[in-house]
A and B are shown apart, each in its own frame.
Chain A
Amino acid sequence: MEPITGAEILVRCLKEEGVEHIFGYPGGSVLHIYDALYAQEDVQHILVRHEQAATHAADGYARASGKPGVVLVTSGPGVTNAVTGIATAYMDSIPMVIFSGQVPTALIGNDAFQEVDTVGITRPCVKHNFLVKDVRQLAETVKKAFFIATTGRPGPVLVDLPKDVTISKTEYHYPKKIKLRSYSPTVRGHAGQIRKAVDLILSAKRPMIYTGGGVVLSEGSTELVELTQLLGYPITNTLMGLGAYPATDRQFVGMLGMHGTYEANMAMHDCDVLIAIGARFDDRVTGKLEKFCPTARIVHIDIDPSSISKNVRVDIPIVGSVPHVLRSMINVIRDEKLRPDAEALALWWRQIEQWRGMESLRYRNSDAVIKPQFVIEQLYKVTAGQAIITSDVGQHQMWAAQYYLFDRPRQWINSGGLGTMGFGLPAAMGAKLAMPDQDVACVTGDGSIQMMLQELSTMKQYCTPVKIVNLNNGYLGMVRQWQEFFYQKRYSMTYFEALPNFVMLAEAYGHVGMRIEKPGDVEGALREAFAMKDRTVFLDFITDPSENVFPMIPSGGGQNEMLLAERDEMVSTHEEGMVLV
């Protein structure tokens, strides 16, 4: 076999892995790789306008498609720009492989031009990383990177490539399979534990199913729906888990947590058996730990053992992949014709319906000013609930999660763990590339959108028509809300005294811009925008600047201490809550 360069090997490996899109930005240390990309057509490179966007776009691509996102950046600033997006993917367990250029091996450690310790900088926010020092190890390392990124609890894996490695030549061999003695995630759950869990689950009088992003990541939605309907139990999803169970189904009680529904949080608080699936008991979900599910015995299914009993001690842990474990549970229940306690369940549902009757998501609409919740409701209506929705971070993110009813997994794409403003737009572009036949909308705010605005240019270049739904309240709304509640309305640095004309801005980038100021125009504008199939449309909705996200469990509060819109005077938080974010 003819020896080929490291750069050519890399491109061959990408094809081998079925990579169709790679998001990146060139620079000195990766010139050889770019040259190898130039010579072929199978892998399409998307030239973003900032490396952070490359990682977010690859992330959106991965979340929408289930395939790993692939990124290529140059050494030094290319890498440091990418770190935010890598950390974002890490916190949400998104499969991603990042290739970064590095100075030649002989210069490493010399403070060479555009040298940073990439492996060191990224170590805390990747699942694993590699520095390839010898071209003969390149192909195997790439194989390992994809394997690690996509198996077990997925996550970003970075491969650092010194320039000389991309230039040196060796024979190309791509290993078909890879086995790592130090890494073999447990897929099948322990049969004895599953048996015990089934018994506990069926003995419940007030059961509750709580599921997170793990169900989406593991493609466990089918099994989740089957089990939930077999049992007839109430189910809630975390912010990361929305769509894994259809939101329009009666058994779904809404999202839980800080801005979850009243019924979801109350049912969590009062349940006697909690079935946690692919969720990690994050602080946004649990509220005050001492007050979390005080009467529940807990079953926890997760592929990552370190997620189990980390924040909350559980009674029956099951390590395994969600669809496998749920399938086994379904089999046990069906084979043995087990039945839940129907009488207790009926009583429990009566209680839950009472809580649901509080209508915790009710808001007062207006004829004069556009309410942000109303925009999301109209977005849901106009897209028939079928669009992929990405979001940025802030109030608009919570409203999108609350008012758009996601009926299928991978439809809702947001940065839940890191909460990265700027994520939404590049993620939408990535999602659209992955799913060109689906409508994609990015719900954003006037703060967040300005963090990655430059990507409008990339979107023009690659014709990725996305509808940008900007809930423009003139404020960093979520921070303003906290200042209103907890800092006696001292609005420190949350008001934008200057905002661009977003319509002109969109037009400057070659897109369509629309400014909507009246509630009566919301639906029409959305319809018009979605009718323009092949255009990116920036919809600048001027919304009520004083609107707050409700319901809310203030930091430090318990699950049963929710504030409902305009019904609770409250608004001070516990002393100890003030230190929390």
Chain B
Amino acid sequence: MNNNNRHLISILMENESGALSRVANLFSARGYNIESLTVAPTDDPTLSRLTLVTSGNEQIIEQIVKQLNKLIDVVKLIDLTETDAIERELMLVKTKAVGGEQRAEMKRLAEIFDGHILDVTDSTYTIELTGRGQKLDNFLRAVEKDAILEVVRSGATGIARGQKALHA
């Protein structure tokens, strides 16, 4: 199998104080990669939804999934990479916007990437973008390097398409 494939794993777990550290601990203790991790309570306040991006060969991913399932606080999980799923990430970018030409260029780029300009000053724009990580990367590549002042990314999150739903 391919080495080091990227996997998007979504976990439903008890909304307990130590639950997040159990997941984080597992990854550091066993030396697994963790690229990003997002977590927030769900519509059911006793449950949190945690999404993480990791990578590894087939055997490592299998172990990660098993080890996560073994945590007492983990109720259910799904490897979204294995199903037809929607993946999204939120990015906030602060760029320089000085002078007519640069301001127009930034606005145009934001539009091309379906972004929104959330905040404007006489020398900066703050742009919001959502999409797959790849799209966000492309945006950053499209913007001239020294124009970027700050980048904040939420880490990927995702949901399966169609009927499939993860619930307790």
Contacts and interface: CB of A to CB of B under 8 A. Distances in A.
Given A119-B18, A131-B18, A182-B72, A124 B25 contact: yes
Contact of A123 (B14, B22, B66): B22
Interface string B37-70: 0000000000000000000000100110011011
Nearest to A133: B17
B72 A183 contact: yes
A97 to B, nearest CB: 14
Contacts of A181: 75, 168
A309 interface: yes
A532 to B, nearest CB: 46
- Name the prevailing secondary structure of the B interface residues: helix
Contacts of B72: 127-128, 148, 180, 182-183
Interface string A142-160: 0000001000000000000
B154 to A, nearest CB: 26
Nearest to B19: A182
Contacts of B66: 305-306, 308
Contacts of B59: 309, 313
A357 interface: no
Interface residues of A, number: 20
A256 B14 CA distance: 41
Interface string B59-89: 1001100110110111100000000000000
B136 interface: no
A182 B14 contact: yes
B9 interface: no
Interface residues of B, number: 20
B70 A123 contact: no
B163 interface: no
B13 A182 contact: yes
Contact of B63 (A124, A128, A310): A310
B138 interface: no
B60 to A, nearest CB: 10
A500 interface: no
Nearest to A182: B75
Contacts of B13: 182
Interface in A297-333: 304-306, 308-310, 313
Nearest to A153: B70
Interface in B7-22: 13-14, 17-18, 21-22
A192 interface: no
Interface string A165-183: 0000000000000001111
Residue from the set B18, B25, B75 with the largest chain A CB neighbour count within 10 Å: B18
B22 A306 contact: no
Contacts of B17: 131
Contacts of B75: 181-182
Contacts of B25: 123-124
Interface in A108-155: 119-120, 123-124, 127-129, 131, 148
Contact of A306 (B14, B21, B29, B70): B70
Given A123-B21, A182-B72, A309 B62 contact: yes
A5 B9 CA distance: 43
A180 B16 CA distance: 14
Nearest to B69: A305
B159 to A, nearest CB: 21
A182 B74 contact: yes
Contacts of B69: 305-306
Nearest to B28: A124
A129 to B, nearest CB: 8
B29 A120 contact: no
Interface of A: 119-120, 123-124, 127-129, 131, 148, 180-183, 304-306, 308-310, 313
Given A180-B72, A313-B59, 9 more contacts: A127-B72, A128-B72, A129-B18, A181-B168, A183-B72, A305-B70, A306-B69, A308-B66, A310-B63
15 contacts: A123-B21, A124-B29, A128-B72, A129-B18, A148-B72, A180-B72, A181-B168, A182-B73, A182-B75, A183-B72, A306-B63, A306-B66, A306-B67, A306-B70, A309-B62
Interface of B: 13-14, 17-18, 21-22, 25, 29, 59, 62-63, 66-67, 69-70, 72-75, 168
